[in-house]
Amino acid sequence: MNIIKNLQWRYAVKKYSDEQVSEDKIDEIIEAINLTASSCGIQPYRLFVITNPEVRQRLGEGSFNAQIHASSHLLVFAGFNEITTDYITEYVEMMEQQRNLEKGGLKILEDTLIGYFSTHTPGQNVIWSDKQAYIGLGTALIAAAELKVDATPMEGFDPKLFDEVLGLSEKGLHASVILSLGYRDAENDYLASAPKARLPINEFSTKIN
């Protein structure tokens, strides 16, 4: 399978070249993230794609991850702080329209979701949204590998700084996880030629028949 070969090729790049990723490839990665799974299907996070060098330099202040500012593109996955009734209603209405259903055709789903999230605390909403953002991150890594675009997922950033610089709090969002995209500097990245180290499959996985 090509996907296995591409994932064997993939690694978390430590040093990027100056080569820029084409917008066509970036758009494919964004679309893949948009198409990925999310619990209840309601996509409780948003994606910010940042190329502005001044913004990225500011976002990288105090972080040991130079990839924040030294790659081609930076993706910021920003989770919802709250899952509101209004959001659920609007999202379900969109689903009805896209599936050519009558208004109210998904009323049972809407009521179920509203009832479910009404029992969540703000902290539970944040954790739940972060978990969904990580599903999108996984899809982004696979999509990038398929396109032979290098990527580095990162938690080593200042979320409060990201929230401030990108105005996320005002949007009801918070920075969950970030991903740099670009092309490896193979001559200067000490991991570029290192063999991938993973557990043997029979130690990593267990089949229960």
pLDDT in tens, 88-103: 999 999 999 999 999 9
Q: Does residue 200 sit within a domain? A: yes
Q: Where are the beta strands (DSSP E) in 35-148?
A: 45-50, 73-80
Q: Does residue 93 sit within a domain? A: no
- The pLDDT tens digits of the residues spanning 31-59 come to 999 999 999 899 999 999 999 999 999 99
Q: Does residue 51 sit within a domain? A: yes
Residue 2 CB contacts under 8 Å (≥ 6 apart), including other chains? 146
Average of per-residue pLDDT across 70-96: 97
Name the region of 100 (left: φ>0; alpha: ψ -120 to 50; beta: rest): left
* Coarse DSSP helix, strand, coil percentages of the chain, rounded to the nearest 5 percent: 50, 15, 35
Closest CA to 87 of 131, 43, 135: 43
pLDDT at residue 1, rounded to an integer: 57
What is the domain-level CATH number for residue 191?
Answer: 3.40.109.10
pLDDT at residue 160, rounded to an integer: 96
3-state secondary structure of 110: helix
pLDDT band at residue 28, thresholds of 50, 70 and 90? Answer: very high
Q: Does residue 92 sit within a domain? A: no
**pTM score above 0.85:** yes
Q: Does residue 135 sit within a domain? A: yes
Q: How many domains does the chain have?
A: 1
The listed range with the strongest mean pLDDT (31-35, 190-194, 195-199) is: 31-35
Q: Does residue 90 sit within a domain? A: no
- The pLDDT tens digits of the residues spanning 139-182 come to 999 999 999 999 999 999 999 999 999 999 999 999 999 999 99
Q: Does residue 91 sit within a domain? A: no
Percent above pLDDT 70 for the chain: 100
Residue numbers of the domain that contains 127: 2-83+120-204
Q: Does residue 115 sit within a domain? A: no
